[in-house]
Amino acid sequence: MGAQTIIQGNLGERRYDLDWVRIGAFMLLIFYHVGMYYVTWDWHVKSPQASTTIEPLMMLTQPWRLSLLFLVSGVATAYLLERQGPRGFLGQRSVRLLVPLLFGMAVIVPPQSYLEVVEKLSYAGTYADFLKLYFTAYHGFCRGSDCLKLPTWNHLWFVAYLWIYTVILYVAIRLIPASVKWMRRVTESKLGGLGIVMWPVAFLAAARITLMAAYPPNHAVVGDWYNHATYGITFLLGFVLAGTRAPWVAIERTRWIALGLAVLGWGFLSAYYGYFSLDGGPVPSNMLRLFQRGVYGAEQWLAIVAVLGFARRHLVHDNAARRYLTAAIFPLYILHQSVIVVVAHSLKPAHLDPGVEGALLVLVTASACLLGFEVVRRVRILRPLFGLPAGGGGHGEAGSSVNVGAATAGAVTSVGAAMAGASSADWTSRSVRPVPCDVQ
């Protein structure tokens, strides 16, 4: 079966705008995860001066940043299938990208979990002692009924989910090749005008209203139905949009409207979460809670339309920075959260002002990750461990583009899911609030 049987027609030229969107979205994770150190929401390590001060700023991207990455990765998967063809596609993706997940879980993630139990449970063992527990699937680090399940994938849950969605999509289109042509025809017709705003908003709002309370996010694959409904569908939508034209034109035309509505939605959500405390404050009425969930779901898509629309209008150029960052972004993603956790923990004895410390955390994290990339791309044995092609020189990555890059960031393994058991998000500290996915 040829590639053109599955991927209808030529998907067109490389999408530099989506390259830039992906780069920006991943870079945003550095700022977001530094912010997680300073807010009252639960995270692996916490600043002694954590407060609600920057929580409204965090809410600016909380609803949509990951959905955007899943959508861009869906587009990238379509380009990869067209370029490589279906034969061997899944095997290549899996072999090349199972390695970074397993390596990340074995080497990059453990320092996060170690410092988590040091800070939250005053664990006194050495790092070597902890690793023995980590690799023997120890589940005894508990606070009440909440236990840290080891080993874990922590921030790498994103790529695990993306790989799972890739497998499901690939199997479906191999079994029913005509489905791709049909989905793109329907998408071109129904999402070519205001439908590109209305239909995804309606779906995401409905998913939030109906699934959020029953299946809150756990990043553990099993039982994570709200996340699967949200991220799985945005991934599929990205794949289908890759073969269309009218929806992208509509996205660009509606960018200002989407931006205005997204800002209004952010204002409402910030006020809502600021007033209705998650730990004993006022309780919202059922109608207000449902309205909030609908706004949250709408915000997920409105912000994405705004980002994609402005990128399509203004970020269609190529340059050396795009080529460099497209190659660098997956290694940076693998490294960034562990660097933040380790550096934040190390800076605690200095008792720095949060503003100064936060800026230093961002600077050190970005610098350390870029330095790590420079080392990785020059050492042949390290390249596959961070998702880079085994070949390639030290001064550039041939073929780096949204066609390759976003799906590279998204390939991981169900083997990892079995190892991880669940995200460490399952284990919450009693002294902090959960990330405000909702106020129950």
pLDDT digits (tens, 9 = 90+) for 366-383: 999 999 999 999 999 999
What pLDDT score does 423 carry?
A: 45
Q: In whole angstroms, what is the distance from residue 413 CA to residue 357 CA?
A: 36
pLDDT at 418 over 80: no
pTM above 0.85, yes or no: yes
For the chain, state the CA radius of gyration: 21
Question: Tens of pLDDT along 95-133?
Answer: 777 889 999 999 999 999 999 999 999 999 999 999 999
pLDDT computed for residue 435 by the predictor: 73
The pLDDT assigned to 38 comes to 97
CA distance readout (Å), 256 to 39, 94, 203, 241, 246 = 31, 39, 21, 20, 18
pLDDT average, residue stretch 243-264: 96
Write the CA distances from 241 to 24, 326, 402, 404, integer angstroms.
20, 21, 14, 17
pLDDT of 396 > 50? The answer is: no
What would the two tokens of residue 347 be? 């800076």
Tell me the per-residue pLDDT of 334-353, one tens digit each, with 9 for 90 and over. 999 999 999 999 999 999 99
Residue pair 18/406 in contact (Cβ under 8 Å)? The answer is yes
CB atoms within 10 A of CB 245: 11
Residue 438's pLDDT is: 56
Assign 93 a pLDDT band (cuts: 50, 70, 90).
confident
Whether pLDDT at 409 is above 90: no
CB within 8 A of 136, min separation 6: which ones?
A: none
